[in-house]
């Protein structure tokens, strides 16, 4: 069931409670390996990346009790054993690399599998990770199917300045430093909302972290981390996605959002397309006056633009969502992905809908929006938010479209299609692209 059949043209209306952020949940899951005490997590999403990590835990002898219907997980790594010659880490997901720090800290050995790429966005380096592990005392061996890292002595504190504010490298640094003897500092640390949420979880376990949310983190190692309980907050990616789906279909969607303080730049980005976002009483809502329209800049001879880069810029993972709005909004918009060199190639698929988008270089795309669009069959790359962006465009067009290979959505968004159907969408998963007699409605 990897294709999405979309009968578009229905305005989405209603309320939706987003799930937790995959990019917060996965580092938290990996960090549970740092303690032998029980950890209880709430609002754990039923997504494929989570299931892969839990399968690995079970294979290593950890106790895992998960109830996805209630969103609860109790995990305990008391009798866990990891053998680098026998055990593999999950593949085709980036967060696999987040298992390395806790495995090194606990067992003195870990692997980085050859395929830890995750979404196919271009180069996704492992060198910054390896540098961090080496700084903490690990040595690296190249194998055929993986790098093997070993540490003969306990990790020792270090100071490090990253080449760039890498999300998962920052999380690996924090996990290494949490139990390393002494005080470690990381400069040019990432500060995305999910990095902050992860650091708050580490504090619940007893980690001593200062500078949370800034680009310099100071971590003082402790002898042992304890157990604890933690409840995940709403995923800002889902908040933005549901608001944008409401706007692009001409509907009215309200989305639960406990952290509107993270949204000023996101709100201003929506406003560039003529979408007003309001936050009230823990809920967010998007309103379009008239039609989607690119707001003209005051600077002459300049295209209106959306720039995405490490936080506190607009997150790159949101760019496809705004590109979908750009295709629909009257006027021209330049999208600038300052992080990835291979994240925009998929935009040629947009022409199948009749959309006009011009890829000026690997980092910049211009949409000439507001053209009449037709339903189409399109192929999604292995990029979660691109499958969603293609679905957004399809949902805004009257008629039957197919998004082939949309399964990556399941890596991050539980009950995604069910949520959309509750808002009035007519969308269903299908194993084939053939016409179905009855679309889910
Ligand atoms: C599991 C997880 O949390 N995944 C997220 C994490 O991946 P991840 O932690 O892999 O992303 P990084 O922050 O390391 O950046 C990804 C790649 O972008 C390039 N790069 C990045 C920044 C920069 O200033 N210069 C540069 O060259 C590098 O090739 C790097 O490998 O952060 C990415 C960037 O927000 C998100 O897309 C991913 O969803
Ligand atoms: C790129 C993403 O995930 P990953 O880093 O796991 O591939 C994403 O969540 O949009």
Alpha carbons 58 and 56: distance in angstroms, whole number: 5
Q: Which ligand is nearest to the CA of 387?
A: 2
Phi, psi of 111 (to 5 degrees): -130, 150
Distance 57 CA to ligand 2 centre (A): 21
Residue 203 has, within 13 A of its CA and on its CB side, a CA count of: 12
User: Which residues are within 8 A (CB) of 261 and not within 5 positions of it... i.e. 6 or more apart?
Assistant: none
Cβ–ligand 1 distance for 171 under 6 Å, the answer no
User: Which residues are within 8 A (CB) of 117 and not within 5 positions of it... i.e. 6 or more apart?
Assistant: 92, 94, 124
Which token pair is 164? 């760039």
Cβ–ligand 1 distance for 166 under 6 Å, the answer yes
With the most atoms of ligand 2 within 8 angstroms of its CB, the residue from 121, 381, 384, 408 to mutate is 384
Cβ–ligand 1 distance for 125 under 6 Å, the answer yes
Query: How long a stretch of residues is the chain?
Result: 441
pLDDT at 289 (0 to 100): 86
pLDDT at 114 (0 to 100): 87
pLDDT at 436 (0 to 100): 56
Distance 406 CA to ligand 2 centre (A): 14
First CA to last CA distance, the chain: 18
Q: How far is CA 178 from CA 185, 210, 266, in A?
A: 11, 11, 32
Helix axis angle, 319-328 relative to 236-248, nearest 10°?
10
Q: What angle do CA 25, 29, 32 make, to 5 degrees?
A: 140
Atom of ligand 2 nearest to the CA of 95: 6
With the most atoms of ligand 1 within 8 angstroms of its CB, the residue from 168, 170, 187, 309 to mutate is 168
| DSSP helix/strand/coil, 429 | strand
Q: What structural domains does the chain harbor?
A: 3-19+234-430 (3.65.10.10), 22-231 (3.65.10.10)
ipTM: 0.98
| pLDDT tens across the length of the chain (441 residues) | 799 999 999 999 999 999 999 999 999 999 999 999 999 999 999 999 999 999 999 999 999 999 999 999 999 999 999 999 899 999 889 999 999 999 999 999 999 988 888 899 998 999 999 999 999 999 999 988 899 999 999 999 999 999 999 999 999 999 999 999 999 999 999 999 999 999 999 999 999 999 999 999 999 999 999 999 999 999 999 999 999 999 999 999 999 999 999 999 999 999 999 999 999 999 999 999 889 999 999 999 999 999 999 999 999 999 999 999 999 999 999 999 999 999 999 999 999 999 999 999 999 999 999 999 999 999 999 999 999 999 999 999 999 999 999 999 999 999 999 999 999 999 999 988 776 554 443
Q: Which ligand is nearest to the CA of 26?
A: 1
Q: Which ligand is nearest to the CA of 340?
A: 1
Distance 339 CA to ligand 1 centre (A): 7
User: Which residues are within 8 A (CB) of 153 and not within 5 positions of it... i.e. 6 or more apart?
Assistant: 137
Cβ–ligand 1 distance for 197 under 6 Å, the answer no
Which residue, judged by its Cα, is nearest atom 1 of ligand 2?
119
How much is the CA Rg of the chain, to the nearest whole Å? 22
| DSSP helix/strand/coil, 430 | strand
Distance 122 CA to ligand 2 centre (A): 12
| DSSP helix/strand/coil, 54 | helix
Distance 341 CA to ligand 2 centre (A): 15
Which token pair is 12? 């989405």
Distance 316 CA to ligand 1 centre (A): 9
Q: DSSP for 186-253?
A: EES----HHHHHHHHHHHHHT-EEESTTSSEEEEE--S----EEEE--B-HHHHHHHHHHHHHTT-EE
pLDDT at 249 (0 to 100): 98
Distance 237 CA to ligand 1 centre (A): 15
User: Which residues are within 8 A (CB) of 26 and not within 5 positions of it... i.e. 6 or more apart?
Assistant: 49, 50, 53, 93, 95, 98
- 54 near 48, Cβ under 8 Å? no
Distance 181 CA to ligand 2 centre (A): 32
Cβ–ligand 2 distance for 317 under 6 Å, the answer yes
């Amino acid at each position: 069931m990897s294709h999405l059949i979309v009968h578009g043209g229905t305005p989405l209306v209603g309320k939706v409670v987003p799930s937790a952020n995959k990019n917060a949940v996965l580092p938290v899951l990996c960090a549970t390996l740092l303690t032998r005490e029980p950890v209880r997590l709430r609002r754990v999403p039923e997504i494929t990346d989570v299931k892969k990590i839990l399968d690995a835990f079970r294979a290593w002898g950890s106790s895992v009790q998960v109830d996805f219907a209630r969103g609860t997980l109790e995990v305990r790594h008391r009798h866990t054993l990891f053998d680098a010659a026998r055990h593999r880490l999950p593949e085709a997901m980036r967060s696999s690399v987040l298992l390395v720090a806790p495995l090194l800290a606990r067992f003195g050995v870990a692997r980085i599998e050859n395929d830890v790429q995750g979404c196919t966005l271009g180069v996704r380096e492992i060198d910054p990770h390896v540098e961090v592990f080496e700084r903490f005392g690990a040595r690296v061996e190249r194998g055929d199917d993986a790098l093997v890292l070993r540490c003969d002595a306990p990790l020792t504190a270090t100071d490090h300045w990253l080449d760039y504010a890498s999300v998962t490298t920052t999380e690996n640094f924090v996990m290494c430093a949490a139990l390393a003897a002494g005080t470690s500092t990381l400069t040019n640390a990432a500060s995305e909302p999910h990095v902050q949420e992860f650091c708050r979880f580490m504090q619940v376990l007893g980690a001593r972290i200062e500078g949370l949310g800034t680009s310099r983190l100071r971590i003082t190692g402790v002898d042992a981390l304890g157990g604890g309980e933690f409840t995940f907050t709403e995923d800002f990616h889902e908040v933005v996605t549901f608001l944008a789906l409401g706007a692009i279909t001409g509907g009215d969607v309200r989305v639960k959002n406990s952290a509107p303080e993270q949204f000023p730049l996101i709100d201003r980005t929506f406003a560039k397309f003529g979408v007003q976002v309001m936050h009230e009483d823990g809920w967010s809502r998007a309103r379009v006056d008239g039609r989607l329209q690119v707001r003209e800049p005051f600077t002459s001879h300049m295209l209106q633009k959306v720039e995405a880069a490490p936080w506190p810029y607009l997150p790159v993972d949101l760019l496809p969502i705004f590109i979908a709005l750009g295709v629909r909004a009257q006027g021209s918009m330049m999208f600038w992905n300052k992080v990835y060199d291979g994240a925009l190639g998929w935009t040629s698929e947009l022409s199948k809908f009749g959309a006009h988008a011009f890829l000026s270089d690997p980092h910049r795309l211009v949409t000439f929006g507001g053209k009449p669009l037709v339903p189409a069959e399109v192929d999604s790359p292995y990029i979660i938010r691109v499958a969603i962006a293609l679905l957004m465009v399809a949902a805004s067009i009257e008629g039957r479209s197919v998004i082939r290979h949309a399964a990556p959505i399941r890596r991050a968004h539980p009950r995604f299609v069910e949520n959309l159907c509750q808002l009035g969408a007519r969308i269903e998963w299908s194993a084939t692209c053939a016409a179905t007699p009855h679309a889910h409605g």
